[in-house]
């Protein structure tokens, strides 16, 4: 046990983050991914999962997910999803669509309330979360997380969503200190906070590590306290190609290029599957460091442009 008042550093190197994922996440486990749609998705950590070659994973996320989920499916890592929305917002996720249509991935019919309620139950250490809102709807007929219950106090007929306890959670935020106190500077935080409390192991990538004194000086800005974080790793532009506002914007052109490749593969165009596999090999599996990955994405100039775009908003 640590001496009273002594804090444990949770900062680790990027290479050690990969080793921690390897020790924590096995084939078939439930993986939670933070962020919302195209903001704050922990893509540097997600790419590590792909490089490790994990298979048959089950995925849960905030109610809105997209590029990272599609990339994991395209790389052959996923068997089941518990995701209310999987979208690139301006178009469908091609690999997700193709895998579900082909039956190689099971997309469970879940809504946002069952995911938030399930994470809340796990965060509170209880097996389920009672919900009244599904009365009169067809959600319970199709949602595998939902079951009818009777209130033990009033006899009222209710529904419950089972606790969702991910084996591993991967999150991204803008800042943290070396002790794992995390700050989201602008992006929506409620789902990341629930995921951090619900998961067995939590790894957070951040764009920058700040001195502990900065965290102490503005304690209200801490979105996830260190007690819920197992490791924090500094990875500049670790959410790319999704955004990390207010530091940098979404790289829409990068996402669009991937989506075109994945859509062509879904449609069965000549050589398209090979081109998508080559893309994943070159841009995901091959780069051993974040610097190597960014160099393939036009490096410094492109990142500076995304920073300038975010600053102008």
For the chain, counts of helices (H) and of strands (E): 12, 11
| Sheet-wide strand order for 128-131 | 128-131, 157-162, 146-150
Query: 219: buried, middle or exposed (CB in 10 Å: 19+, 13-18, 0-12)?
Result: exposed
pLDDT band at 242 (very low <50, low <70, confident <90, very high): very high
Helix, strand or coil for residue 253? Answer: helix
C-alpha 183/C-alpha 278 separation (Å) is 36
C-alpha 263/C-alpha 208 separation (Å) is 34
Return the beta strands (E) in 17-66 as ranges: 30-33, 57-61
Q: What is the pLDDT of residues 269-286, one digit of tens each?
A: 999 999 999 999 999 999
C-alpha 22/C-alpha 46 separation (Å) is 12
- Total length of the chain: 313
pLDDT of residue 2: 39
**Is the previous residue joined to 4 through a cis bond, with omega within 30 degrees of 0?**
no
Q: Delineate the domains of the chain, giving CATH numbers in brackets.
A: 14-109+165-312 (3.40.1080.10)
Strand partners, 292: none
For the chain, give the percent of residues with pLDDT over 70. 98
C-alpha 162/C-alpha 122 separation (Å) is 9
Q: Which of 249, 238, 257 is nearest to 302 (CA)?
A: 249
Residues 6 or more apart from 111 whose CB is under 8 A from it?
Answer: 84, 139, 143
C-alpha 94/C-alpha 96 separation (Å) is 5
Q: What is the pLDDT of residues 41-98, one digit of tens each?
A: 999 999 999 999 999 999 999 999 999 999 999 999 999 999 999 999 999 999 999 9
Helix, strand or coil for residue 34? Answer: coil
What's the whole-number average pLDDT of the chain? 95
Q: Which of 77, 78, 137, 80 is nearest to 113 (CA)?
A: 137
Pairing of strands 168-176, 157-162: unpaired
176, 221 contact by CB (below 8 A): no
pLDDT of residue 271: 96
Helices 252-267 and 272-280: crossing angle in degrees, nearest 10, is 140
Q: What is the pLDDT of residues 137-150, one digit of tens each?
A: 998 999 999 999 99
Asked whether the whole model's pTM tops 0.85, one would answer: yes
Q: Which of 35, 82, 87, 86 is nearest to 62 (CA)?
A: 35
């Amino acid at each position: 046990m640590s001496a009273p008042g002594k804090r444990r550093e949770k900062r680790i190197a990027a290479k050690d983050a990969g080793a921690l994922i390897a020790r924590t996440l096995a084939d078939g486990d439930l993986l939670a991914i933070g962020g919302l749609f195209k903001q704050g998705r922990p893509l540097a950590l997600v790419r590590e999962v792909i490089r490790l070659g994990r298979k048959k994973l089950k995925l849960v996320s905030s109610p809105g997910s997209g590029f990272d989920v599609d990339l994991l499916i395209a790389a052959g890592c996923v068997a089941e999803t518990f995701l209310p929305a999987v979208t690139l917002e301006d178009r469908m996720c091609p690999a997700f669509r193709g895998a579900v249509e082909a039956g190689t991935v099971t997309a469970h019919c879940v809504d946002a309330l069952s995911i938030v309620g399930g994470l809340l139950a796990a965060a509170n250490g209880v097996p389920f979360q009672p919900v009244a809102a599904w009365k009169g709807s067809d959600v319970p007929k199709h949602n595998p997380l939902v079951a009818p219950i009777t209130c033990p106090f009033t006899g009222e007929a209710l529904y419950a969503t089972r606790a969702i306890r991910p084996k591993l959670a991967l999150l991204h935020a803008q800042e943290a200190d070396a002790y794992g106190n995390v700050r989201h500077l602008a992006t929506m935080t409620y789902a990341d906070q629930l995921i951090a409390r619900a998961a067995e192991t939590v790894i957070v990538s951040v764009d920058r590590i700040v001195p502990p004194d900065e965290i102490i000086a503005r304690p209200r800005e801490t979105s996830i306290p260190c007690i819920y974080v197992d490791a924090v790793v500094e990875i500049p532009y670790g959410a790319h190609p999704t955004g990390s506002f207010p530091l940098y914007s979404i790289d829409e052109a990068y996402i669009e290029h991937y989506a075109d490749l994945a859509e062509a593969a879904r449609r069965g165009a000549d050589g398209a599957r090979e081109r998508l596999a080559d893309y994943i090999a070159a841009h995901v599996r091959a780069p051993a460091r974040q610097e190597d990955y960014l160099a393939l994405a036009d490096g410094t100039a492109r990142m500076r442009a995304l920073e300038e775009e975010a600053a102008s908003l």
